[in-house]
């Protein structure tokens, strides 16, 4: 399976990346929305100064698994009405979900307060591929 990873972390770039990558995945078998905590020390700021200490932030990723590969999107999130969920909605419709389901997952799904899976989607009657079973 081929792995695609988005390096930019904005919702607008995620939408553009999805338009290029989703068709390469083949039939979409599984979509997974996850959240985890990340702690960084001495992060660099844009002005070149070092921020001393640690910073703990949430990281949210959307994984799309298909027959021919999978992609991890960052810069997207769900559960409110902003640009992040709008990008998730577009990604989900590119994956073949109907508009009502895509809207429900993008705008109404809960954002967890702890690490783990926020939600997942599988087409009815789908069987997991080897990659999905290992994930």
Alpha-helical regions (H) of the chain: 11-21, 83-94, 99-103, 130-134
Stretch 63-67: mean pLDDT: 95
Q: How confident is the model at residue 135 (pLDDT cuts 50, 70, 90)?
A: very low
The model's pTM: 0.81
Name the strand (E) or helix (H) holding 5: strand 2-5
Nearest to 17 by CA among 77, 87, 83, 82: 87
- Amino acid 86: pLDDT: 94
Within 10 A of 115 (CB to CB), how many other CB atoms are there? 12
Stretch 74-103: mean pLDDT: 92
Give the C-alpha separation, 60 to 64, whole Å: 13
Beta carbons of 31 and 65 less than 8 angstroms apart: yes
Stretch 8-25: mean pLDDT: 90
């Amino acid at each position: 399976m081929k792995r695609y990873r988005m390096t930019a972390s904005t919702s607008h770039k995620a939408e553009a990346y999805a338009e290029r990558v989703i068709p390469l995945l083949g039939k979409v078998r599984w979509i997974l929305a996850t959240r985890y905590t990340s702690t960084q020390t001495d992060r660099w700021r844009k002005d070149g100064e070092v921020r001393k200490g640690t910073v703990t932030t949430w990281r949210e990723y959307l994984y799309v698994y298909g027959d021919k590969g999978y992609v991890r999107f960052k810069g997207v999130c769900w559960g409110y009405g902003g640009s992040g969920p709008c990008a998730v909605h577009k990604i989900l419709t590119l994956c073949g979900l109907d508009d009502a389901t895509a809207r429900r997952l993008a705008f109404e799904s809960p954002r967890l307060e702890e690490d783990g899976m926020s939600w997942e989607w599988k087409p009815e009657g789908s069987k997991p591929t080897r990659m999905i079973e290992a994930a």
